[in-house]
Structure 1
Amino acid sequence: MPKPTDSITRRQALVAGGAALGGLALGTSTVLGQNDDESRRYRVTIANNTPGQPFTPPAVAAHTADIEVFAVGEPANEPTRQLAENGDLGPLSDLATSADEVRGVAVGDAPLVPQADPAGTGNPWYTMLHLTADEEATFLTFASMLIATNDGIVGLDTVPLPSHVNESRTYYANGYDVGTEQNTELFADMVPPAKTLIIGGEPEGTAESDEDIAEDDVIRPHPGIQGVGNLPPEVYDWDEPAALVQVERLG
């Protein structure tokens, strides 16, 4: 399993994790947090529960109750849109860098594929991330792109962190459609790894948003793969929950 590196800046952590999507490289996780004697340490285990949906390197943040990365029923902000459409962690890194409410961040260095690894990528189906934060951080947010979708994510928004040493909490994360792009289900409209991570072959697609298929809606539960484009539902669809997330407070 990946091991954490020394603490670095929030921007470096998020950009390093996002770079792994293109290279499909395995490596150590990147982590940011407080490093004094008053800090609290957490281990976050994230597992891909789907049979045919790869995730971008997952990002987790420990934060106060005063910030929200995404909210069901509300329009997506720009960081969430860029993650959902393009697997781009850059805007999210800007948010984490500028927001004092975010107290700790960790990002994986490899995509998470289904446990069976149908394309034989060698990528993991689960990962363990470590982060530290001060006592003001009482909530956790997790977000990752559902790669073989137009604008889908899997995530948890503002769930409680364990408050006691050795306490563990288990959460189940569902998939969401962020409502910013039509679900054409065409490889040409998705990020290039959407094809290669599940069925192999040459990459196909784009890492840029296409205004021709933009929509103006709100974040809602993802309808799943309907089979209207290049994605056979029997290969790419999933049952909820899409991910399991276990959060432990370490001593």
Structure 2
Amino acid sequence: MKFAILIPAIIGLMASSALAKVDATNTEMAHYKVTITNLTMNQGLSPAVLATHSPAYTMFKMGEPASPGVALIAEDGMTSKLAEEIKNSNAADSLFVGMKPIKPGVSMVYHIKANPHSLFSAVTMLATTNDGFTGVNSLPLPAYATRIYVGAYDAGTEANTENCQHIPGAPCSAHNVRVRAGAEGTIQHHPGILGVADLSKKMFNWENPVAMILIQRYN
């Protein structure tokens, strides 16, 4: 049995990380450097979950309900449920679970080993939102390099109250608090921070894209 081992490095932020191993059924493995850059002014991104996998697995899809794992990322930045879903899919050849957030203007770099025929997916929460997240689903791994700019999504599992009693990210600090009434029900483009309650639109709103993902193969 062979395993893909993922080792993170960080630009502008020193952090420890959790490594996860997933059985790789293909013997041909390639090495990639994945860079995630937070492009927002004041929205922190939660620890990211990254995976490479076959087409049998879908991390998220516009217009469909978020999985319980993606919902917990979007609502509270909690990674364990999504990692469990990826492992249980039996479709992944590598999995990375971050331990530290990505601050505004900061890039985080991960060195991963994966089947070159796999697809790449990743999600991370926009921390000062009710259930906002960003990421990419089922991106083919490049022969050399690929760069994409990603916007913000609404998981559709909470109402966008913008009330600090319901939001985990700074300046709020509420965890495990959900407002289900008024939730969209499916993943949609996020409307942004509108300034309807505790959050300042000027301070915490964003213009898409909110993150850049760069994947480079180096063997």
Output the TM-score relative to the length of structure 1: 0.76
Correspondence for 2:185: 217
Correspondence for 1:126: 107
| Amino acid paired to 1:39 | M
Report how far residue 7 of structure 1 moved.
2.9
Correspondence for 1:118: none
Report how far residue 210 of structure 1 moved.
2.4
Correspondence for 1:227: 195
Structure with greater strand percent = 2
Is there any run of 5+ residues in structure 1 with no aligned partner, and where? 1-5, 14-23, 116-124, 197-202
Q: 1:79 to 1:232 in 2, by over 3 A?
A: same
2:171 aligned with 1:182, yes or no? Answer: no
Correspondence for 2:170: 195
Counterpart of 1:195 in 2: which secondary structure? Answer: coil
| Amino acid paired to 2:141 | L
Q: 1:183 to 1:25 in 2, by over 3 A?
A: farther
Report how far residue 135 of structure 1 moved.
4.3
Contact 1:35 1:132 in 2 (8 A): no
| Amino acid paired to 1:205 | A
Report how far residue 37 of structure 1 moved.
6.2
Q: How many residues align?
A: 210
Q: 1:101 to 1:212 in 2, by over 3 A?
A: closer
Correspondence for 1:91: 81
Correspondence for 1:205: 174
Is there any run of 5+ residues in structure 2 with no aligned partner, and where? 8-12
The match for 1:154 among 107, 130, 134 is: 134
Compare 56-65 and 128-137 and name the one that shifted more: 128-137
Structure with greater helix percent = 1
Report how far residue 31 of structure 1 moved.
5.1
Counterpart of 1:94 in 2: which secondary structure? Answer: helix
Report how far residue 242 of structure 1 moved.
0.4
Correspondence for 1:245: 213
Q: Deviations over 1:45-88 (max 9, x none)?
A: 00000011100011211111121111011111111111111111
Tell me how far apart the structure 1 counterparts of residues 190 and 89 of structure 2 sit (CA, whole Å). Answer: 28
Calculate percent identity across the aligned residue pairs.
28
Output the TM-score relative to the length of structure 2: 0.87
Report how far residue 204 of structure 1 moved.
2.7
